[in-house]
Amino acid sequence: MNRTRRLRKTENIRRLVRENRLTVDELIYPLFIEEGTNIETEIVSMPGIKRWSLDRISKELDEVVALDIPAVLLFGIPSKKDEIGSETWNDNGIMQNAIRFIKKNYPSLYVITDVCFCEYTSHGHCGVIHDNDVDNDATLLNIAKQVISHAKAGADMVAPSGMMDGMIATIREALDNTGFYDLPIMSYAVKYASAYYGPFRDAADSAPTFGDRRTYQMDSSNRDEALREATFDDQEGADILMVKPALAYLDIIRDVKNNFDRPVACYNVSGEYAMIKAAAEKGWIDGDRVMMESLLSMKRAGADIIITYFAKDVAKLLLKR
């Protein structure tokens, strides 16, 4: 008789037949870096995650490096915003200073930058506004300037998150024309308009002041459209394709994994983090186990890389095993 329970009898045989495992090697840890000094602000809806100014952030970076987390994803929070987000291409802006600081003091750490405008625009949208909507092609011109500025500051990889059409082609061309042909692009290829971003918008001060992002981010009802999005970014030369959010979109992660010959990343977003932390704080779930089970589901779905606020928690837990 077929008995599947034979291979579940002890932990050792379970280890031998285990199909997926989580390691620190595939984790990217997001960091919120705020312009100014003496800033170490707890984000209320994301317990354990803070906004840091550069004079304080070494404490955090020391820990990231000690835990052997390979990469960080930087979000900049500038002290001044304007209509078009021109601080994003200021060579002396918060992002550019953060890149230089980290590459100088932590040369082994791989530095990825978020490329967008929402933290830098007075209206909180991800680009230039014309007629009450984000103007795609006007925004592309500014994306090119932003990306070159990140590259010149020493970024190892850029990660455009604004869901503008043609953004990957624009960025690839801009980088190649300035000699940065070696600098890879991780595209937020399939990014849904999601309520799971709520805590992030508080953290990064990036909530839109009017309307929402539904004219550029994807409708959560759609699955076929995700392949269209990923196809364009693949053709335009994205090196890594990302799906975001992760947990409610595991089907999309698997679709992208099956259909493209590129590494697939997923973004375990702020709301996913907040839900687990909050329920664990209440004692309603075992936070560590639900964290591991959720992240493992993303690997099973096909993610090669996971961007997660849990990165330090996971690394610590794995060290204890």
**Catalytic residue IDs:** 191, 244
DSSP for 89-148?
G-TTSHHHHHHHHHHHH-TTSEEEEEE-STTTBTT--SS-EETTEE-HHHHHHHHHHHHH
Contact yes or no for 144/158 (Cβ under 8 A): no
Binding region for ligand PBG (CB under 6 A) out of 52-60, 102-110, 128-136, 196-204: 196-204
Contact yes or no for 116/158 (Cβ under 8 A): no
The single-letter DSSP state of residue 219 is: P
Q: Is 47 in the site for ligand PBG (CB under 6 A)?
A: no
Interface of this chain with ligand PBG, residues 203 to 232, rule: CB under 6 A = 206, 213
Pick what 197 binds: ligand PBG, Zn ion, none; C-beta below 5 to 8 Å, kind-dependent.
ligand PBG
Residue 126 has φ and ψ, to the nearest 5°, of -90, 35
User: Given CA atoms 186, 190, 196, 200 in this order, what sign does their dihedral have?
Assistant: positive
Q: Is 171 in the site for ligand PBG (CB under 6 A)?
A: no
> What track of x and - describes contact with ligand PBG for positions 257 through 296 (by CB under 6 A)?
------------xx--------------------------
Task: In whole angstroms, give the CA distance from residue 314 to residue 27.
Answer: 9
Task: In whole angstroms, give the CA distance from residue 26 to residue 70.
Answer: 8
Strands 305-308 and 264-268, sheet pairing: parallel
DSSP for 42-88?
E-TTSTT-EEE-TTTTHHHHHHHHHTT--EEEEEEE-S--BSS-GGG
State the nearest-atom distance from the C-beta of 76 to ligand PBG, in Å. 11
State the nearest-atom distance from the C-beta of 169 to Zn ion, in Å. 19
State the nearest-atom distance from the C-beta of 303 to ligand PBG, in Å. 15
State the nearest-atom distance from the C-beta of 66 to Zn ion, in Å. 31
Strands 71-77 and 50-52, sheet pairing: unpaired
State the nearest-atom distance from the C-beta of 3 to ligand PBG, in Å. 43
Q: Is 314 in the site for ligand PBG (CB under 6 A)?
A: no
Q: Is 200 in the site for ligand PBG (CB under 6 A)?
A: yes
The single-letter DSSP state of residue 179 is: T
- Partnered with residue 73 across adjacent β-strands are 30, 112
Q: Is 29 in the site for ligand PBG (CB under 6 A)?
A: no
Binding region for ligand PBG (CB under 6 A) out of 4-12, 17-25, 147-155, 193-201: 193-201
Closer residue to Zn ion in complex, CB, 126/303: 126
Closer residue to ligand PBG in complex, CB, 105/135: 135
> What track of x and - describes contact with ligand PBG for positions 103 through 142 (by CB under 6 A)?
-----------x-x-x-------x----------------
Q: Is 27 in the site for ligand PBG (CB under 6 A)?
A: no
List contacts with Zn ion (CB under 5 A): 116, 118, 126
Binding site for ligand PBG (CB under 6 A): 114, 116, 118, 126, 161-162, 197, 200-201, 206, 213, 269-270
